Homo-oligomer: A and B are copies of this chain.
């Protein structure tokens, strides 16, 4: 009788172990990616249309650009995966495609917060005005130095950071990099930095006189 119980216990232990291994193996591997730019020029309309209304991405786009995968489309895809929150801490933001993706997320109910550089956002082509007009919260510095970060945090779980300003020039012409990491430790460090800056750049702290010359 004692032998039968021992056999049963051993079988249960083996089953438990097999189950644990199976769950562990099915757990999606954290994202670890590096995107290098300049990005090939491809059509991103289908990607944005699909994110706006499922099924719409299958309609043909009349533009002459080739279809396919590129660093920009991969960056867009990572951003469009946001379901709850998106923090952006960007020196310069003038890319229409990336602005389109951010507005789309805002319309979808994702809480978007943007921190940017006051001098850069006043430059021609900046998308910051459009984002504000769409109702997205934006805060900027009033410092003598630049708010020179270029990072994004998706759903408090994925960090995108590197040398890339979100401009068409940077995407299409410069040598740039963006690291994509699903890594709790790094995400926490950047989220803490974002919250620090967000509080510091609270409009209640803005001075009324113009920014000092940089």
Contacts and interface: CB of A to CB of B under 8 A. Distances in A.
Contacts of A126: none
A121 interface: no
Contact of A179 (B141, B174, B186, B197): B186
Please tell me how many copies of the chain the complex holds.
2
B149 A175 contact: yes
Contacts of A169: 145
A175 B163 contact: no
Given A32-B185, A34-B189, A189-B34, A148 B161 contact: no
Contacts of A172: 145
Interface of A is mostly: mixed
Contact of A147 (B146, B149, B175, B179): B175
A166 interface: no
A3 to B, nearest CB: 23
Given A32-B186, A34-B189, A144-B173, A150 B163 contact: yes
B161 A149 contact: no
Contacts of A149: 163, 175-177
Interface of A: 32, 34, 36, 38, 91, 141, 143-151, 161-164, 169-170, 172-177, 179, 185-186, 189-190, 193, 197
